[in-house]
Amino acid sequence: MAAVETGKPAEKPTETPPRKLPRDARRLQLIEATIETIGRFGYSRTTLSEVARTAGLSHGLVNFHFETKDKLLVETLLYLAEEYRLNWTQAIEAAGPSAPEQLYAMLAADFRPELCTPDRLSAWCAFWGEAQGRPLYQEKCGSNDAEYNRMLEALCARMNAEHGYAADPVRAARVLRVTTEGVWLDMMTLQSPYPADEALATLMTCAAAFFPRHFTAEGLLRA
């Protein structure tokens, strides 16, 4: 798994974007530029002008697609939330049918290289942590969080029912969730951050504490 660095993103080669792109493609380009901008400057210091500069587009074009900074931030959060939801739901669908396979897939999905990038982690931390971002996050993402929590609790309950464990499924799921969030935060704030594979090993160590016959720090134990 690719390591995740948390320093300033490397400078990208200067490219002139095509003058004409389909509307959805242009909006996606601007949302990705917003994620990068939040990663570099934080939530409150992100401006339409800086997003336009990052995307290599005019300020007027950003205004045309999103009108205001608030609308752009809402669309960016919705994009990140749906990306995250699809990431873990598709990981479960691609896993085997057993509870250990699906639980491992769900937990490991948080550290896929495509999702676990410095810019995306910074954007999530900004929406979680900044005073302006918290109400927006709760309004737009509360249902997604509830769905995630229900699935994690259900998988922990299946581990009990199918494999003879006795962990409280609600508390076990909560500990696994806050461990994931904690290592994400570590990867953003430590002076010498550890890579994504070490973050996953930390989470697997937590899973092994609840379900030791199925998990180790190295991951899922295959029968």
Q: Establish if 166 belongs to a structural domain.
A: yes
Query: How many domains in the chain?
Result: 1
CATH number at residue 84: 1.10.357.10
Amino acid occupying residue 122 = S
Query: Which stretch of 42-56, 71-85, 87-101, 180-194 has the lowest confidence by average pLDDT?
Result: 180-194
Q: Establish if 95 belongs to a structural domain.
A: yes
- Give the Cα separation of 109 and 88 in Å (integer): 6
Mean pLDDT of 4-20: 40
Structure token digits, residue 146 = 């509830």
Structure token digits, residue 84 = 């995250």
Q: What count of other Cβ atoms lies within 10 Å of the Cβ of residue 162?
A: 11
Range of the domain at 146: 73-220
Q: What count of other Cβ atoms lies within 10 Å of the Cβ of residue 192?
A: 5
Residues 118-166: pLDDT tens digits?
A: 899 988 888 877 656 667 777 778 788 899 999 999 999 999 999 999 9
Share of the chain above pLDDT 70, in %: 88
Q: Establish if 143 belongs to a structural domain.
A: yes
Q: Establish if 133 belongs to a structural domain.
A: yes
Return the DSSP state at 68: S
Q: Establish if 54 belongs to a structural domain.
A: no
- Give the Cα separation of 213 and 220 in Å (integer): 9
Q: What count of other Cβ atoms lies within 10 Å of the Cβ of residue 201?
A: 18
Amino acid occupying residue 19 = R
Q: Give the model's confidence band at 21: pLDDT under 50 very low, under 70 low, under 90 confident, else very high.
A: low
Q: Where are the alpha helices (DSSP H) in 2-47?
A: 23-41
CB neighbour list of residue 71: distance below 8 Å, 6 or more residues apart: none
Instruction: Provide the whole-model pTM.
Output: 0.82
Higher pLDDT, 41 or 154: 154
Q: Give the model's confidence band at 170: pLDDT under 50 very low, under 70 low, under 90 confident, else very high.
A: very high
CB neighbour list of residue 199: distance below 8 Å, 6 or more residues apart: 4, 111, 116, 183, 184, 186, 187
